[in-house]
Amino acid sequence: MRPIAVIQANYTDLLGDDRNPSHYCIEPLRKSRHIDRIVIAAPDLPENRALVGAAETWRVDCHLGSEFDVTARILAAARMVGAEEETVVVRVLLNRFFIDIDLVDRMIELLQKSSSDFVTLPYDFNINFGADVMTLACLRRADKMIPATDMSQRFRPWLFIEEHTDVFRVSCLEDVPTYPLETLQRIHGGDLSHERDCGTCAIFGYEFAAQFLRPTDHVLDLGCGAGEGSEVLAKYSAEVWGADYDGQVVREAQARHDLETLHFDVQDAHALDYADEFFDVVVCSNVMEHVADDALMLQSCQRVLRSRGSLVLEVPLLAERPFGAPLIPSHLREYRPAPLLSLIGHAGFEVDRKFGMNRGRYVDWDRAREGVLIVAHKL
């Protein structure tokens, strides 16, 4: 059986009533030299009936399955279209309208030529332009190895496969492209000029950050948004201040959360309106890439921290290829590891711990794909 494409999707990926296949990955996949059949795999939710209708419009298959067990969902979708053990499964996301189908085809060819189980791409390349390419047998083996209760692993089995090269034959397609910046401008503009998720921004885990807090700490959650993360931090500390520049979201946070130990303020990250040495910890998730002056923001954080106070900072990692520039339109910048460490040091911090973000999970620093998290203390 020829390779099949399984599109992981949710109703939130649909652009209203827009069903133009070129605004999704549908049109690029149809241009593949190898892919024979396309099936959408979405959670079995009432809202996802819209995807069933979209699939009919696009003349592709659609399977509604497990909400969180993506491994089981993709296996079920593959069964629905009659995939066999040796069938190559190409997993993509619906809203990746910009995927490079020539790159995906070359990944398929490498898998077949090398008799690999799985083909990945280099760490310095934005994997959203490619796909996760594997045999169905490989995914079945991962399904048997990952515990049924481990939804973190079952949500992203490709990371599990990459981490177990003693079990799976993993190849990396090293010959990846670079594109001119005009290509990036086309992705950001045209019919899709409104902002959408053009890449995977690092997803901050407040439960992960909580391990760096003490019950007596006074904490600033900078860039708190609607305050869900601030409420998590409040469970592990004495008091939390959530701060955001957007007055509307701060008012929403104030209305939504009524803990006595939780406060919300409108603040400018460049010039925090708190007393010097007021906080024990500053938590800052995916804010620095949006501010006009990141060095000034770090200096402001340093000023409001007490002596030896901690900064827990997460930022997106800059993919050197295919652009060496941010794919997400709202990012003013993204970060290379060495200059980031220098920037933090110049602001008066010393780094204690470093983590990487890879496909939504924290891993070793040198295996980061989309983001990094740093824990530092004030000098």
The values of phi and psi at residue 199, to 5°, are: -165, 180
Q: What is the mean pLDDT of residues 2-30?
A: 95
DSSP-assigned letter for residue 355: E
Domain count, the chain: 2
CATH number at residue 281: 3.40.50.150
Calculate the average pLDDT of the chain. 93
Cα angle 24, 137, 156; round to 5 = 50
109 lies in the same domain as 254: no
Task: Tell me which of 159, 177, 195 is where a domain ends.
Answer: 177
261 lies in the same domain as 300: yes
9 lies in the same domain as 83: yes
Q: What is the mean pLDDT of residues 229-256?
A: 95
Task: Tell me which of 177, 192, 214 is where a domain ends.
Answer: 177
Task: Tell me which of 156, 177, 198 is where a domain ends.
Answer: 177
Residue 321 counted as domain residue: yes
64 lies in the same domain as 146: yes
- Residue 99 in tokens: 């995927």
Q: Is the pLDDT reported for residue 361 higher than 90?
A: no
Q: What is the mean pLDDT of residues 353-372?
A: 92
Judge if the upstream peptide bond of residue 339 is cis by omega within 30 degrees of 0. no
What is the 3-class SS of 60-75, one letter each residue? Answer: CEEEEECCCCHHHHHH
Residue 204: predicted pLDDT: 54
**Percent of the chain at pLDDT above 70?**
96
DSSP-derived 3-state class of residue 376: strand
Pairwise CA distance, residues 282 & 148, whole Å: 36
Q: Is the pLDDT reported for residue 197 higher than 70?
A: no
Q: Is the pLDDT reported for residue 212 higher than 70?
A: yes
Residue 329 counted as domain residue: yes
Residue 283 counted as domain residue: yes
Residues 17-51 have pLDDT tens digits of 999 999 999 999 999 999 999 999 999 999 999 99
215 lies in the same domain as 264: yes
Residue 334 counted as domain residue: yes
Residue 202: predicted pLDDT: 39
257 lies in the same domain as 342: yes
Residue 190: predicted pLDDT: 55
161 lies in the same domain as 236: no
Q: Which of 10-14, 84-88, 117-121, 326-330 has the lowest mean pLDDT?
A: 326-330
Q: Is the pLDDT reported for residue 111 higher than 80?
A: yes
Residue 197 counted as domain residue: no
241 lies in the same domain as 151: no
User: How many C-alpha atoms does 183 have within 13 Å on its Cβ side?
Assistant: 16
Residue 360 counted as domain residue: yes
134 lies in the same domain as 230: no
Q: Is the pLDDT reported for residue 199 higher than 50?
A: no
Residues 293-331 have pLDDT tens digits of 999 999 999 999 999 999 999 999 999 999 999 998 889
User: How many C-alpha atoms does 236 have within 13 Å on its Cβ side?
Assistant: 17
- In which band, very low, low, confident or very high, does the pLDDT at 126 lie, cut at 50, 70 and 90? very high
Residue 188 counted as domain residue: no
Residue 195: predicted pLDDT: 44
29 lies in the same domain as 84: yes
Q: Which is more confident, 337 or 197?
A: 337
Residue 189 counted as domain residue: no
Question: Which residue range(s) make up the domain with 309?
Answer: 206-378
Pairwise CA distance, residues 355 & 94, whole Å: 29
149 lies in the same domain as 260: no
- In which band, very low, low, confident or very high, does the pLDDT at 254 lie, cut at 50, 70 and 90? very high
- Count other Cβ atoms within 10 Å, centred on residue 53: 12
CATH number at residue 88: 3.90.550.10
239 lies in the same domain as 307: yes
